[in-house]
Chains A and B, each alone.
Chain A
């Protein structure tokens, strides 16, 4: 792909930029393309030249498709190196996070299929029990992955999934890091009321 020029679509740019700004809380129009963010980004080598500054530019120009499907949006680690270095205090990590959410809202599959399943499993587990039990949470994550593979009829993936995750579990087991104790919080009612309140809110 390399660095193809972005599409500028004025109407789309207006609406899209406003939504990204509201959801990410970042004043991205202040970006003057100095690229300080680019030099520190730890994944920039693997994103087909999409550095944080270019991600900002894509959004401002309203190239929605590129913004939602480029590699930085999906590979960003949320490490905030870009944000601490930006002279205009733009946290591109939060923009990438917002774009991931917008992509998922738009029905675009995540570039790492397990991204969505992992965070979903973690979040749901914390809502359900009030605390994370690692084995239970990873179990839910696993089931979500399996379900995805099943829907796609991908049985080879199921086998390699089981193999790789059991290696991880075995490593943790050997290092005495796997615990079978169960803990939870009684505050689950409060948490569930808060969750109901959050329904339909796209930003805080």
Chain B
């Protein structure tokens, strides 16, 4: 099965691991990801804070590219990119004049014939039946994950169809069940972690993260599992801080769901977390001197 793939900026940088693991496990499942050509930033939440038109126009460009490359489905791993893109797609449908205005400037026009899915949507759909039967699953012992969805899996700033239960999503639990892991039942799977506000409203975000952590611990979870790079980064890189602030002794690893699936598929730690290329720079200095807006 061939799918268009939009990695998004963070999967090229801080969440490189997520990109790598998504590609590995999709390939093992027989799902071929084709990164769309010359994709650009979706604007994330920031574009909408400043310019409502660009918040739609930026994802529109990527939609146009994906549609014109002939695929019927576009897969987006990052929860923020996914949210921005489905919302923009629906707004383009609802406001045809706006769509025309945006299309005038696009070399690859939005036609509106592509299905946009998150990695989790695809995994949930495809991990049953034949695809899994063809894989020797390793039995993973000792994992008691709390599946943490954050805001962006079920709540959107615009009315778009939501596949999962808004208050109590189950998609990650189902995917984990398919590989023999039973997730814990807990309360804060959709509480906001503060997202980028950790930068400008730090204390508030730390308090929220501590609440999430406390409940996961109270339910005896021994790791958190996520699909959103922002949640992953916050819950991991701020953990020392929010635990110290709130007197929490325990610490929990925060896995992308792709990591547990990868382990179950028999990939080694080295396959899943290759030594980092932290200082290899693919920088092309001529680009730094090019025209800017």
Contacts of B199 in A (CB 8 A): 114, 118, 141
Quick one: CB contact mask for B47-87 with A, threshold 8 Å, 1 for yes? 11111111011100100000000000000000000000000
Q: How far is the CA of A94 from the CA of B49 in the complex (A)?
A: 10
Given contacts A81-B192, A97-B49, contact A126 B43 (CB under 8 A): yes
Whether the pair A77, B194 counts as a contact (CB closer than 8 A) is yes
> With A42-B208, A123-B51, A186-B38 given, is the CB distance from A131 to B9 under 8 Å?
yes
What is the bound-complex CA distance between A112 and B197, given in angstroms?
Answer: 9
Q: Do residues B40 and A179 form an inter-chain contact, with CB atoms below 8 A?
A: no
Interface size class of B (residues with CB under 8 A): 35 or more
Contact between A183 and B200 (Cβ–Cβ < 8 Å)?
A: no
Is the Cβ of B40 less than 8 Å from the Cβ of A185? yes
Give the contact stretch, choosing among B116-124, B139-147, B279-287.
B279-287
Q: Are B43 and A118 in contact (CB under 8 A)?
A: no
Say yes or no: B276 contacts A190, CB within 8 Å.
no
Task: Report the Cα distance A171→B236, complex, angstroms.
Answer: 10
Bits for A167-204, please: 1 = Cβ < 8 Å to B, else 0.
01001110111111111111110111111011001011
A141 to B199, CA, bound (A): 10
Q: A-facing mask of B120-158, CB < 8 A → 1, else 0? A: 000000000000000000000000000000010011111
Q: For A177, list chain B residues within 8 Å (CB).
A: 14, 233, 237
CB contact between A198 and one of B40, B44, B57, B159 (< 8 Å): that residue: B57
A: interface residue count bin: 35 or more
Q: Which A residues touch B27, using CB under 8 A? A: none
* Given known A-B contacts A127-B293, A190-B106, A181 and B282 have beta carbons under 8 A apart: yes
Given A81-B155, A97-B48, A186-B38 in contact, is the A175-B236 Cβ separation under 8 Å? yes
Give the docked Cα–Cα distance between A141 and B155 (Å).
28
**Chain A's interface: helix, strand, loop or mixed, by majority?**
helix
Contacting A at CB under 8 A, from B174-225, are 190-192, 194-197, 199-201, 204, 208
Q: Tell whether A204 pairs with B13 under 8 Å between CB atoms, given A80-B155, A94-B157, A187-B40.
A: no
Name the 8 nearest CB pairs between A and B, nearest first.
Answer: A79-B192, A114-B200, A122-B46, A198-B53, A80-B155, A182-B283, A126-B41, A132-B9
* Residues in A lying within 8 Å of B, measured CB to CB: 23, 25, 42-43, 46, 75, 77-81, 83-84, 89, 91, 93-94, 97, 100-101, 112-115, 117-120, 122-124, 126-134, 141, 168, 171-173, 175-188, 190-195, 197-198, 201, 203-204
* Partner-A contacts on B (CB < 8 A): 9-10, 12-14, 16, 38-41, 43-54, 56-58, 61, 91, 95, 98, 101-102, 105-107, 151, 154-159, 166-167, 190-192, 194-197, 199-201, 204, 208, 233, 236-237, 240, 276-284, 287-288, 291-293
Q: Can you spell out 21 A-B residue pairs with CB atoms less than 8 angstroms apart? A: A42-B191, A81-B155, A84-B167, A101-B49, A114-B200, A118-B200, A122-B47, A126-B58, A131-B41, A141-B199, A168-B237, A172-B237, A177-B14, A181-B277, A183-B282, A185-B39, A185-B40, A188-B292, A191-B40, A194-B57, A195-B54
